[in-house]
Amino acid sequence: MRYMLFIKHPEDYRGKVPPPALLKAMGEFVVPNIQSGKFIEAAGLMSTWRGKKVRVRDGKITVTDGPFTESKEIIGGYTLVESASDDEALELARTFVELHRIHAPGMEVECEVRPLQTGAPGSE
């Protein structure tokens, strides 16, 4: 089953360069998972100042330019993974967060794990 891992961090982290130790550890984590086929695609997202939000509310469409300073946290990146189970996908997310805890002390990061819907809309 495929899962989307959304990597979130506080908005005020935007534009900061991750510590070199974290980048090294992430490479050591990501490369074998790509080679094994568990990681299908991953990317960081550019700063929210490059983004836009398109919203419909009360029948009206609005567009808001970034940065989104009203947001407490933003999606900073994503990873699309292939996992045999929810537990395996969760373990990938835990490892990702653990690397941040070890190599970027004090950095707040969250990883939301969501299975991709493969059936009819609204199905589980």
User: Has residue 109 been placed in a domain?
Assistant: yes
User: Has residue 124 been placed in a domain?
Assistant: no
What is the pLDDT at residue 14?
66
**Number of folded domains that form the chain:** 1
Cβ-contact 13, 100 below 8 angstroms: no
Q: What is the pTM of this model?
A: 0.84
User: Has residue 123 been placed in a domain?
Assistant: no
Residue 109 structural domain: 2-115
User: Has residue 24 been placed in a domain?
Assistant: yes
Q: Angle at Cα 28 formed by Cα 104 and Cα 92, nearest 5°?
A: 75
Residues 7, 39: Cα–Cα separation, whole Å:
14
CATH number at residue 26: 3.30.70.1060
51-103: per-residue pLDDT in tens? 898 999 999 999 988 887 677 788 989 999 999 999 999 999 999 999 999 99
C-beta neighbour count of 65 within 10 angstroms: 11
User: Has residue 62 been placed in a domain?
Assistant: yes
Q: Which residue has the tokens 């996908």?
A: 89
The CA–CA distances, whole Å, from 51 to 35, 42, 68, 89, 101 equal 32, 18, 8, 28, 28
User: Has residue 93 been placed in a domain?
Assistant: yes
User: Has residue 121 been placed in a domain?
Assistant: no
User: Has residue 120 been placed in a domain?
Assistant: no
Cβ-contact 81, 38 below 8 angstroms: yes
- Judged on CB neighbours under 10 Å (0-12, 13-18, 19+), 5 is buried
Residues 6, 79: Cα–Cα separation, whole Å:
7
pLDDT at 28 exceeding the cut of 90: yes
